[in-house]
Amino acid sequence: MQWGSASEFFAMGGYGLYVWTSFVATALCMVWEVSALWRRRVAARAEQRAALLGGTDETTA
Amino acid sequence: MLQAVALHCSRGERRLFTDLNVKVERGSLLAVVGENGSGKTSLLRIFSSLLPPEQGSVLWEGQDIQQLKELYSAELTYIGHLNAIKDDLTPLENLMSAMSLTGESCSHNGAKEALEAIGLKRPIHHLPSKVLSQGQKRRVALARLWLSTRPLWLLDEPFTSLDTAATGVVTQRLHTHLQRGGLAVVVTHQEVALPAETIQRLRLTG
Amino acid sequence: MSTGINWLKYSSPQAFYPLAGRLIPWFACVAVALMGIGLYMGFFVAPTDFQQGEAYRIIFVHVPAAWMSMFLYVVMAVWAGIGMGLNARLSFMMAQAIAPTGAMFTFLALLTGAMWGKPTWGAWWVWDARLTSELILLFQYAGVMLLRTSIDDMRRADRASAVFALVGVVNVPIIYFSVQWWNTLHQGASVSMATGSKMASTMLTAMLLMTVAFWLYSIAVILARARCIMIERESLPVWDEKAAVIQEAVEAR
Amino acid sequence: MSGSNMWEAVSGIVRRDLLLAMRRRSDAAMSVFFLVIVVSLFPLGVGPEPAVLRIIGPGVLWVAALLACLLSLGRVFTADYLDGVLEQMVLIPQPLAILVVGKILAHWLISGLPVVLLSPLLGLQFGLSGEPLGVLVMSLLLGTPTLSMIGAIGAALVLGVRGSGLLVALLVLPLYVPILIFGAGAVTSSMAGIGGEANLSLLGACLVLSLFLAPWATAAALRIALE
């Protein structure tokens, strides 16, 4: 373990800004991608359900 | 002989026709009729090999046209609903360049005779096509039929914007073609005045 | 077209959809676990680089992102090629599903590259062969996606973007070579990206772990996106999902 | 039989397209005017120092030539697509790729060749002379056909697509990068006294490569557009 303290860890030897921007940006992109996919899936299934509901309406009515 | 085997076609979400089977023998004409959007043009484009069929196949003399490729192209004359003529060229230039494109080059005089046969008089031959009326432009496109040596004709609404006289001339030309052992598929909403035994009707319901 | 019954079975969306659904959690879990181990190795085990100090730790995301961006483009082009050759819907759907993730990794590679370049080279951007190729790669991803969205007819959109993806796969190596060639002409303008110093084995391990994690993450995300695309495209799905949806619909009454 | 027919079809296409360009001279002239204007704007923007102009000259001329080619891409297939001639072309009994070569050749003769012919004059504006000027003409002579060929792929892909003008730029410009680098590089290295031969041979290699690949890709894209 090479870090004496938490603040030393976050400072990254003076390069903290660059290192953490990179890692945080990557994490944000991935989280955003997963959440966007989740939203897309929910929307697609809702649309599918609406289509199927419409279909059953016709047959039962 | 042209044969469609179990053709399916859908555009986007809409199913146009399913399991379509039809056979066109030499010396006969297939008239494809149906409402707008029933898939008449799509069927013709499948026959022409422009549109690959989703399912099923089209056979020419028993062979799949997807495999024949250019050999099949050398058997057909296709006139779509677009006239394929350039506004900046004269009717004569249009006809001659269309023929040289398909590899059936024709002489200057041959082209003139074809244009005259469909009722375009000599003075018109040298005007730019943009001054022609819709009917005259259609005639320029159809003049190819007088020069075509191909056995299979695929025509999309050939009689659109033609007057009665021109319709009669084109019908007569179709008749000669069939008598010589040619075959044709014509998409039309009009009656084709040909002997009943040579015509086969296909109604697409969409 | 007869390509064997087995192939047809797996290539149908109906068979693929539930299979992908079962695989996604596994890929996602392993990806998260490996990412955790990789980050731990990267930050707590790997030593400080004696030349670049702590800034070098950016390579633990930069290099995997850059590799994935190029790898995914090739995979996308392969699916596009298979789609064109066999006229298989599933292949086009896969190609469509890959593009956004590939573009995201390309963007991340450029961003983290700039973050690495500023402290190391003193410049955010250098006209180096790798950076330039990566930039062009981003444009090509954008081209593939924009071409797809601007064509309404699905079949045409699939095939047109496939042609462009295949053309692009020829282009990227040529660009890489041409920029390298160009740099030899404009000497002094560029800085070599080769670090020279030998990497400690723990650094390499951390980087490889992160790469595998990114790879598994990509698979999970791409499969999930492919499933979304299938639901969106197939107007009447015939998969197990359908039964569940009908059940829900009936209950909703 | 097919060899002579093929030649007839290609030369027929080229002759027809040239005839059409003669009927509408303003279309062809526009891309040349565009080139001249863009190139003339740069000295006004960066200042008249001959030393600076000499340095940026090759790059400016090449970028301008590239943009002029890009602007003219809309003309390659669009008119034929709209009036139905393209359908007829796809249905001729020759490989479509051969015909595409004819279309590209015609496009180059109409919009590429004038750029090549005009380039010595424009080079003079930027203080190029002697060998570098010759290399500039040579590089454009080798490079502009490649630009037309790569551009044809993009033009075919966006046929009938909304916003096609901008889209084609986005698709094609990344593919133009190597040509730009080798083309401008040839002139720069000739000015530096290294001689432009290496870059010119690379341009030639690109030309050969695109001659093998681009017509097929364009033909595939055209068939897709017509389905």
> Hey, where are the domains in chain D?
3-226
Is C7 a domain residue? no
Residues 6+ apart with CB under 8 A from C184: none
Contact between chain A and chain C (3 or more Cβ pairs less than 8 Å apart):
yes
Number of domains in chain C: 1
What per-residue confidence (pLDDT) applies to C246? Answer: 64
Please check whether residue C251 touches B, CB under 8 A. no
Contact (Cβ atoms closer than 8 angstroms) between residue C155 and residue D227: yes
CB C79 within 8 A of CB C95: yes
C12 inside domain: no
CB of C184 less than 8 A from some CB of D: no
- A48 falls within a domain: yes
Domain membership flag for residue A7: no
Domain with A55 in it: 24-61
Express each pLDDT in D107-146 by its tens digit: 999 989 999 999 999 998 888 888 889 999 999 999 999 9
Q: Taking CB atoms and an 8 Å cutoff, what residues of chain C touch A41?
A: 224, 227-228, 231
**In-domain check, residue A56:** yes
Range of the domain at C59: 18-188+205-246
Average pLDDT of chain C?
82
Strands B183-187 and B152-156: parallel
Q: Which two tokens stand for residue C151?
A: 């064509």
Report the run of H or E that residue B30 belongs to, with start and end.
strand B29-34
For residue D81, the model assigns a pLDDT of 92
Within-domain flag for C11: no
Alpha carbon distances (Å) from D5 to B100, B114, D1, D16, D56: 9, 22, 6, 16, 47
Sign of CA dihedral C150, C156, C159, C163: negative
Write out the two tokens for B196. 């009943």
pLDDT tens digits for C128-164? Answer: 778 888 999 999 999 999 999 999 888 899 999 999 9
- Give C210 to chain B, closest Cα distance, Å: 42
Nearest to C240 by CA among C26, C13, C29, C5: C13
Instruction: State which residue of chain D sits closest to C135, comparing Cα positions.
Output: D174
Assess C108–A contact: CB distance below 8 Å, yes or no: yes
Residue A61 has a pLDDT of 33
Residue A45 resides in a domain: yes
Chain B residues within 8 A of C154 when measuring between CB atoms:
12
Say how far apart CA C90 and CA D99 lie, in whole Å: 32
Residue A50 lies in a domain: yes
pLDDT at A59 over 50: no
Domain assignment present for residue C109? The answer is yes
pLDDT the model gives residue D171: 93
Q: ipTM of this model?
A: 0.88
Pick D177's closest partner by Cβ from C147, C163, C175: C175
Question: What band does A54 get if pLDDT is binned at 50, 70 and 90?
Answer: low
Residues of chain C with C-beta less than 8 angstroms from the C-beta of A23: 58, 61
Residue with tokens 């991608």: A33
Inter-chain CB pairs, B–C, below 8 Å: 3
What is the number of CB-based contacts under 8 A between chain C and chain D? 78
Is C28 inside a domain boundary?
A: yes
- pLDDT tens string C73-101: 999 999 999 999 888 888 999 999 999 99
Interface membership of D24 toward B (CB under 8 Å): yes
Whether C74 is in a domain gets the answer yes
Q: How many domains does chain A have?
A: 1
Which residues of chain D have a CB within 8 Å of the CB of C140?
Answer: 174
User: Mutating which of B9, B16, B102 best tests the D interface, going by the most D Cβ atoms within 10 A?
Assistant: B102
Average of pLDDT values for C1-28? 72
Confidence of residue C199 (pLDDT cuts 50, 70, 90): low
- A9 found inside a domain: no
C-alpha span between C156 and C167 (Å, rounded): 17
Give the Cβ contact number of residue C250 at 10 Å.
11
Q: Chain D partners of B76 at a C-beta cutoff of 8 Å? A: 91
